Each structure stands twice: as structure tokens, then as C-alpha cells.
Amino acid sequence: MTDAPTGRMPDFLLIGGMKCGSTTLHDYLTGHPQLAEPQYKEPGFFSRDERFSLGLDWYRSVFASAKEGQLAFESSTCYTRHPHFGEVAARIHEHLPGIKLVYIMRHPVDRLYSHYRHAMLERQKKNEGPVVSLEAAMSESSEYFDAGCYLRQIEQFTAHYDRDRFFFLTLEELKADPDAMLGSLQEFLGVDRVPTLSASLKGASNAASARAVGTTTASARDKLRRNPLVRVAKRLIPKQARGLLMKAVMNSPVVKARAKAKADAFAAQLSKLTDAKRQELLKRYEEPNAALAEFLGRPLPDSWTS
């Protein structure tokens, strides 16, 4: 007799978009008592073949912490990066035909530039090549532009799900009136309305520069741990004191200054989003944005036109 699989399937998915405030929205949702935090925020199960090959039992285990009466969910932004991640919507529908879908969007040009910064940071961190210009990055992959064609992404899902399965919002709407937007989202999910504060939405800009500092600090911490002198010291210092010592070292002005200097050096390698480039991209997004507004049946944020 084999053991029964642990965990469960999710009740709804936050399907993106990438660099649109999905992390902030995910963090809010995990703070709701009727919503269970998944083991992994972004498992990418239905979009990454190496994850999908782990099987449904593995996916169920991602939601094993969900208690009775709680809704389970996860937030994988690669679910809305068509056509760069295959037939994701069809795969989701095959296994989750009754799921609810939440999709957050953002000014497409701001999203694109944030995506570029993120990609270059990852490239540098993994030693996968030099930082390139925005133009070069967009020439390498159309994904930067495609991920901001939001209706194109939505249509991959509306081919399988009725309109009432979706909740659409923009980062701008969420920041302008978080209580109203989050209240509507809670109603859509069928959970109690829990009052929230605007302060819970801090960090919605997904600042890549802050992550660059964090990445550099983590790198410095790893190097410090590999230092032979530190290894000797670890054997001499009581275990209870090691964490406090490491924290003191990492918070030292020298380490912080080095991390900031490296982050500044990274930022200096990036292309600037010039007014001319911004206007060029805005022009390219005019038609996709107009189609999106018509589909949603409401105007897009005013800021999306500039």
C-alpha cells in the first residue's frame, strides 16, 4: 500500500505579469488568514518542463501547508510570457479546469525597462555574459516587448476559461486605492474582507537597484563564509553567537559601502530610458493598449499614455 499524496491543488493562480507588482500582491495575499502561503512563491510548474516533469504529487506538496478552510495559491509570472514558455494556459486548464486567475498589469514601458534591468542583473549574477544595451537586449529576445502586450497574454487563457474566472487589475490602480482594489479582489476570491493599509504595498516598484545591493551583499556573505580564517573562528565561537557576529559584519559600513558601490557600477552599465526611446515604445504599445482597454471595458490609467 502506497502513501497517499500530501498537499492539494491550488484554488487560484496569480499569473503575472512579470515586473508588475506581483510580489507585492503575493505578499499581501499571504497575510490574509484565509489564504495559505505556498512553499514556493513562484514554482513555475506549468511553464517550466523541468518542474512539470516532477509530477502532480510534487505540485500538490507546494500547498501542503494549507489548512482546512484556507484557499491555496501560487504566483508564477512566467505563466503570462507567451509565446516564450509554450502552451501554458492549455496545460493549466487540463489540470485545473475550475481555477480562478488573477492578473496584475503595469505601464508597459515601465514594465519593459524593469524587465531589462532584472535580466541584466541575472546575467551578471550568473556570469552569463556582459550587460548589454536595451536595444541589444530587445534584439536578442522579443520577450521584453511581448510580456507587455497584456491582451495577447490574456487571450491564451480566455481560449480555455470564461471571463468570470478572471480578476484584472493594474499596479497603478492598486497603488492609487489599495483598500478598494484589494476589497474587490477579496470579494472575487470569496474570502472575508480584511482591512489593509497602504503601507502593506511598499516595494511595489520591484526596484532592481535594491535587489542588486542585496545580491552583492549575499555574495559578500558567501565569500566571508568560505574564508579560511572565518572557518577556524567558527570552531572557536559558540554557535549561538555566530549569527550575531555575521549580522554585525554584514551590517558594517565597509561591507555596505562595497555592496552599494557594486550596485552603482551595475546601474551605470545599463541603458537609460531616454524620452525618445520611451516615446518610441509608447507608440508601439498604442494598439495593444487600445485593444486591452476595449476588452476590459474600462479606460487604462492615464499615466499609460506618457
Digit-coded pLDDT (tens) for 255-303: 666 666 666 666 778 999 999 999 999 999 999 999 999 999 999 999 9
Q: Are residues 63 and 159 in the same domain?
A: yes
Residue 120 covered by a domain:
no
63 φ, ψ to 5°?
A: -110, 20
For residue 256, the tally of other CB atoms under 10 A from its CB is 15
Q: Are residues 192 and 216 in the same domain?
A: no
Q: Are residues 50 and 86 in the same domain?
A: yes
Length of the chain: 306
pLDDT at position 124: 87
Q: Name the 3-class secondary structure at 26.
A: helix
pLDDT at position 173: 96
Q: Name the 3-class secondary structure at 261.
A: helix
Cell 500547498 -> residue? 63
Residue 185 covered by a domain:
yes
Residue 136 covered by a domain:
no
Q: Are residues 95 and 221 in the same domain?
A: no
Strand partners, 101: 13, 166
Threshold 0.85, pTM exceeds: no
pLDDT tier for residue 38 given thresholds of 50, 70 and 90: very high
Range of the domain at 255: 209-269
Q: What's the CATH code of the domain at 97?
A: 3.40.50.300
CB 46 within 8 A of CB 52: yes
Percent of the chain clearing pLDDT 90 (strictly above): 70
Q: Are residues 169 and 264 in the same domain?
A: no
Residue 96 covered by a domain:
yes
Per the structure, the count of domains in the chain is 2
CB 166 within 8 A of CB 297: no
Residue 127 covered by a domain:
no
Q: Are residues 181 and 262 in the same domain?
A: no
Q: Are residues 198 and 49 in the same domain?
A: yes
Please state the rounded mean pLDDT for residues 182-191.
96
Residue 2 covered by a domain:
no
CB 301 within 8 A of CB 243: no
Q: Are residues 183 and 34 in the same domain?
A: yes
Q: Are residues 161 and 198 in the same domain?
A: yes
Q: Are residues 75 and 175 in the same domain?
A: yes
For residues 261 and 68, what is the distance between their CA atoms, to the nearest angstrom?
A: 48
For residue 112, the tally of other CB atoms under 10 A from its CB is 26
Q: Tell me what the pLDDT averaged over the chain comes to.
A: 86
| DSSP states of 137-193 | HHHH-THHHHTT-HHHHHHHHHTTS-GGGEEEEEHHHHHH-HHHHHHHHHHHHT---
Q: How far is CA 226 from CA 15, 58, 240, 258, 259, in A?
A: 39, 33, 19, 18, 18
Long-range contacts of 297-302 (CB under 8 A, 24+ apart): 300/170, 301/107, 301/170, 301/172, 301/173, 301/176
